[in-house]
């Protein structure tokens, strides 16, 4: 069986658009269907049992189960995500997969087609070894991580696992703790009148602006009280404010969004209650992604650390937390830097990609 070159594999993956359709994707046909088909063929050629499991219309998870020499082994899942963020505003060909300056360029090169290619390349080097390992090896390309984490949520409900490695660009460090996110939408209603007589109306923008100040005055001191040893404190950022229709009309509608990054152990509902108390006149809608904490004393984290993958925390969130919320020890790990994720000229260094494939191979070989 032929070993896969991680550089060439990554180039092929980048050339398959898989932009998340939420927001403004910047492509005519967003979604993960094409890359799921391609991954299914690649993983099937490596001897895995393949299933494409539709999560949303035209947007499947690709799930691969590798052969095992006996039943009842603990299950280890490699789980990068197949979707990327928008390509709007990119300064390079997002789907070129160009190799120059010792780097591969394109959307997903870092987040997370690079880690994905490293994982698959490592798996391709061990066709006879994998069945004999102490773990049953699974791989899944998860759809929808960039918005909603629908793929991870679906697979976590469908299959039991004993350890999950979410593929993310972590500089080959073991992220065993990260913040969660709480995205809040505030909506103010007012009364529109001609701007020459503003006293006759109700200005929705004024309502939002004063509410944001009250929320900041109430929430920021509260969030700073609890310090996580790896992640610091929870944070608050106002992301967007949209309101009004014309300069000469008092606005009857205004909307603002908040991004709150939540440390493990914090109660998101408590934060929402504080926001509601500070802005009783506003409509408050929220959605969230869970924080992650997996005990660094776990034997596989210790093994990863012995191979050089130092346990660390991170301020961002990923699919690992979805599995951890169901009691499955989970981490994020992969080559490349998070500083390149979502950028206008996204890339990953070839040396880092090769090192990632070598690392995952060493890790797999250690699972006797």
Identify the DSSP state of 28: S
Q: What does the pLDDT read at residue 368?
A: 85
Q: What does the pLDDT read at residue 285?
A: 97
Q: Where in the chain is the domain with CATH 3.30.70.360?
A: 180-289
Tell me how far the alpha carbon of residue 99 is from its chain's centroid. 25
Q: Do the beta carbons of residue 278 and residue 215 sit within 8 Å?
A: yes
Q: What does the pLDDT read at residue 160?
A: 98
Distance CA 188, CA 209 (A): 10
Distance CA 265, CA 259 (A): 18
User: 343 is written with which tokens?
Assistant: 């950028």
Q: Where in the chain is the domain with CATH 3.40.630.10?
A: 6-178+291-365
Task: Please check whether the domain covering 6-178+291-365 is classified as CATH 3.40.630.10.
Answer: yes
Q: Do the beta carbons of residue 338 and residue 318 sit within 8 Å?
A: no
**Tens-binned pLDDT, residue by residue, of the chain (368 aa):** 579 999 999 999 999 999 999 989 999 999 999 999 999 999 999 999 999 999 999 999 999 999 999 999 999 999 999 999 999 999 999 999 999 999 999 999 999 999 999 999 999 999 999 999 999 999 999 999 999 999 999 999 999 999 999 999 999 999 999 999 999 999 999 999 999 999 999 999 999 999 999 999 999 999 999 999 999 999 999 999 999 999 999 999 999 999 999 999 999 999 999 999 999 999 999 999 999 999 999 999 999 999 999 999 998 999 999 999 999 999 999 999 999 999 999 999 999 999 999 999 999 999 98
Q: Which of 233, 229, 207 is nearest to 220 (CA)?
A: 233
Q: What does the pLDDT read at residue 1?
A: 58
Q: What does the pLDDT read at residue 236?
A: 97
Judging by beta carbons within 10 Å of its beta carbon (0-12, 13-18, 19+), is residue 363 exposed, middle or buried? Answer: buried
Could you tell me which CATH number the domain at 180-289 has?
A: 3.30.70.360
Q: What are phi and psi of 253, to 5 degrees?
A: -150, 140
Q: Which string of b and e fits 232-249 if b means at least 16 CB within 10 Å?
A: ebbbbeeeeeebbeeeee
Q: Which of 230, 216, 124, 218 is nearest to 177 (CA)?
A: 230
The per-residue pLDDT for range 169-222, each reduced to its tens digit, is 999 999 999 999 999 999 999 999 999 999 999 999 999 999 999 999 999 999
Q: What does the pLDDT read at residue 110?
A: 98
């Amino acid at each position: 069986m032929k070993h896969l070159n991680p550089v060439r594999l990554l180039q092929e993956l980048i050339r398959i658009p898989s932009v998340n359709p939420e927001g403004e994707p910047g492509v005519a046909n967003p979604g993960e269907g094409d890359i799921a088909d391609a991954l299914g063929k690649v993983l099937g050629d490596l001897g895995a049992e393949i299933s494409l499991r539709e999560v949303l219309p035209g947007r499947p998870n690709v799930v691969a189960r590798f052969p095992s020499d006996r039943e009842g082994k603990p299950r280890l899942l490699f789980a990068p995500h197949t979707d990327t963020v928008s390509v709007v505003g990119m300064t390079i060909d997002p789907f070129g997969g160009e190799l120059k300056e010792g780097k591969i360029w394109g959307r997903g090169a870092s987040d997370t087609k690079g880690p994905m290619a490293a994982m698959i390349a490592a798996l391709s080097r061990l066709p006879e070894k994998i069945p004999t390992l102490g773990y049953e090896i699974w791989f899944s390309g998860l759809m929808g991580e960039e918005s909603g984490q629908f793929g991870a949520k679906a697979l976590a409900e469908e299959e039991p696992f004993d350890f999950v490695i979410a593929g993310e660009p972590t500089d080959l460090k073991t992220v065993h703790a990260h913040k969660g996110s709480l995205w809040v939408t505030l909506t103010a209603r007012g009364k529109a009148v001609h701007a020459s007589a503003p006293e006759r109306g109700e200005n929705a923008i004024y309502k939002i602006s004063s509410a944001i100040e009250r929320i900041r005055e109430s929430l920021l001191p509260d969030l700073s009280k609890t310090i996580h040893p790896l992640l610091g404190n929870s944070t608050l950022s106002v992301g967007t404010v949209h309101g009004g229709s014309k300069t000469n009309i008092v606005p009857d509608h205004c909307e603002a969004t908040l991004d709150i990054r939540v440390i493990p152990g914090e109660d998101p509902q408590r934060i929402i209650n504080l926001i509601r108390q500070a802005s009783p006149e506003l409509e408050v809608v929220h959605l969230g992604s869970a924080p992650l904490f997996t005990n660094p004393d776990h034997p596989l984290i210790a093994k990863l650390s012995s191979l050089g993958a130092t346990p660390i925390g991170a301020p961002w969130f990923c699919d690992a937390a979805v599995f951890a919320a169901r009691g499955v020890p989970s981490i994020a790990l992969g080559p490349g830097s998070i500083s390149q994720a979502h950028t206008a000229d996204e890339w990953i260094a070839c040396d880092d990609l090769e090192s990632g494939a070598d690392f995952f191979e060493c890790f797999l070989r250690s699972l006797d």
